[in-house]
Structure 1
């Protein structure tokens, strides 16, 4: 999709491979996904976009939903009557399933990034603060927090729980500086790390 363009006639003539990549990319969607999202609707999702660059991609552990990836893209866009194009950023998750043709995309989300409020962000944009508030103040689970481990744009925050277990909350850092939580793990004693699913916003019960 890097060379795909859907500027609606606006721009400087033919850009990249124009609309040629769209039918090819659409066929990477699973049959069920295509039944929910028509080709016309799919192309419309890229309205105003003239170029797309994949800047981040990593496999997300997800024992419930199988093969899942986190991604972030940078787009060159033009809309709203402006004469100049501008850069846009978005992120989301992609899930894959295996069909006869091979692995197909069964689910995909796309969330646009905010660059005006993000520089003045509150606690919910910072991974360390998110862990302290959600798992500490809300769930009353934290005994003490260990130093954060960073690997490029991946941030792993470990803490020891009041239940004597250790926890690891993994975040991906966006271009605008916001940390997005992508996975949770728990290890009791000498056992192996096990993925868990907690929603502190709703309840603090583990699944």
Structure 2
């Protein structure tokens, strides 16, 4: 995929702020420190389009980025670590439920998990949640540069088993450091971008 344009559009908290142009949307979901921002920057060949943060849980809204004037990446709040109040967590929950259950242009979800660790309870819940709403899910295991290549297959199997992935469910290994998996990610996304 040749990226000619990529820019931040809006941080939305509800349907009133969602873009109304009907372009396809790809949501990106994952634990707070799984590397969502780095994934977006790498796949779009941008250094700082999405600010990466040392503090997990910085994304608290649905952050829309338009790509090639043709589709959106929607960065959803990370789950897991964020040190936020119960009230804030409940508000996020409602915001995400509204988005995942009602958003017509949402075509697929990229769920990022950390290749180094078995999926967390929250990873499994999120996967089940997306399946419940019937969204196609592309599972991306990040930080592959931190796992010896000889162990990739073993870690991959642990993740697939924990998430209950079928043989034909899209799953790829990714590194925002060296670009491993970038082309495969675009191949997996391609059917949902039109």
Could you state the TM-score of these two structures normalised by the residue count of structure 1?
0.23
More strand by share: 1
More helix by share: 2
Q: Which has the larger radius of gyration?
A: 1
